[in-house]
Amino acid sequence: KPDEIDSAVWEKIRDHPCYSEEAHHYFARMHVAVAPACNIQCNYCNRKYDCANESRPGVVSEKLTPDQARRKVIAVANEVPQLSVLGIAGPGDACYDWKKTKATFERVAREIRDIKLCVSTNGLALPDHVAELTDMNVDHVTITINMVDPKIGAKIYPWIFYNHRRHTGIDAARILHKRQMLGLEMLTARGILTKINSVMIPGVNDEHLIEVSKWVKERGAFLHNVMPLISDPAHGTHFGLTGQRGPTALELKTLQDRLEGGAKLMRHCRQCRADAVGLLGEDRGQEFTISQISDEI
């Protein structure tokens, strides 16, 4: 255990492949794509594929009901001894599509007691579910935070759906920002480890992510993961259609180096799919499609 990390935190990260760089060589995660609905629109999203919170577009993820997800997790746990974490990361928003997220976690936790539960969200609905996340012993939550200035947010989010209606422009970005900060503070107060994902969008929020890093560090974020925008016109995202480019590998690394000294950086993210299975960078999802899993589980 590294000296600077306290023992309670170490227990939470030592076998989590995203929260501990060391652990990612030995421990596997799996995602189940149970949460297709989303409450915001990001200009880098293509709903046909996965939540770009964490996911590389490509092939449509296999969407599952909570019971199918339970069966799949058991099948994977039987075959993949390194499995330590079950994450829900889309294809929509795990906290907005909450009933399915909750039902999945409850079913799995009843049968596999030591699996770690992990959630990824845009943060808008997060404050409403922090109490339940705490009750379910969810120790890891990722919030995608791309701005702390609503003027920049308005360039990334055309609308959000909140309190039964659609909000647009700066108004939408301001609400999203407040909810993200509130959610982060609530998690920190309860000792839940938080990772902040930021999508680096050149010319839109690249410089601004230095400010984001300060804000989230002050509010107790455990890790900051800056990911490159994946902008391919073929995927039909808004940014893809407007010709917005993603950063080069050098631009990403230069920004990450400038962020040293803010929140601790994650540098080994592989932008997993919403139905990824295996070690990071490995995707064994095709071995565990629901049609291959016995009905008896």
Binding site for ligand SF4 (CB under 6 A): 38, 40-42, 45, 51-53, 90, 92-93, 122
Quick one: 186 or 272, whose CB is closer to ligand CLF? 272
For residue 10, the tally of other CB atoms under 10 A from its CB is 12
Reported as half-sphere exposure (CB side, CA atoms, 13 A), residue 123 has a value of 30
- Rounded Cα distance, 126 and 147, in Å: 17
Strands 140-144 and 277-278: what pairing? unpaired
Quick one: 45 or 130, whose CB is closer to ligand SF4? 45
Total residue count of the chain as it appears in this document: 297
Give φ, ψ of 85 to 5 degrees.
-135, 135
- Rounded Cα distance, 176 and 170, in Å: 10
- Regarding 230 and contact with ligand CLF (CB under 6 A), the answer is no
- Regarding 18 and contact with ligand CLF (CB under 6 A), the answer is yes
Q: Quote the tokens at residue 183.
A: 């959610």
62 torsion bin: left (phi>0), alpha (psi -120 to 50), beta (else):
beta
Quick one: 53 or 225, whose CB is closer to ligand SF4? 53
Near ligand CLF by CB under 6 A: residue from 40, 64, 118, 130: 118
Quick one: 42 or 108, whose CB is closer to ligand SF4? 42
54 binds, among ligand CLF, ligand SF4, none (CB under 5 to 8 A by kind): ligand CLF
- Closest separation between CB of residue 126 and ligand SF4, Å? 12
Near ligand CLF by CB under 6 A: residue from 15, 54, 97, 139: 54
Burial of 107 (0-12, 13-18, 19+ CB in 10 A): middle
120 binds, among ligand CLF, ligand SF4, none (CB under 5 to 8 A by kind): ligand CLF
- Regarding 273 and contact with ligand CLF (CB under 6 A), the answer is no
Kindly list the residues in this chain that would bind ligand CLF in the complex (CB under 6 A).
Answer: 18, 29, 31, 54, 85, 87, 89, 118, 120, 140, 142, 195, 225, 269-272, 280
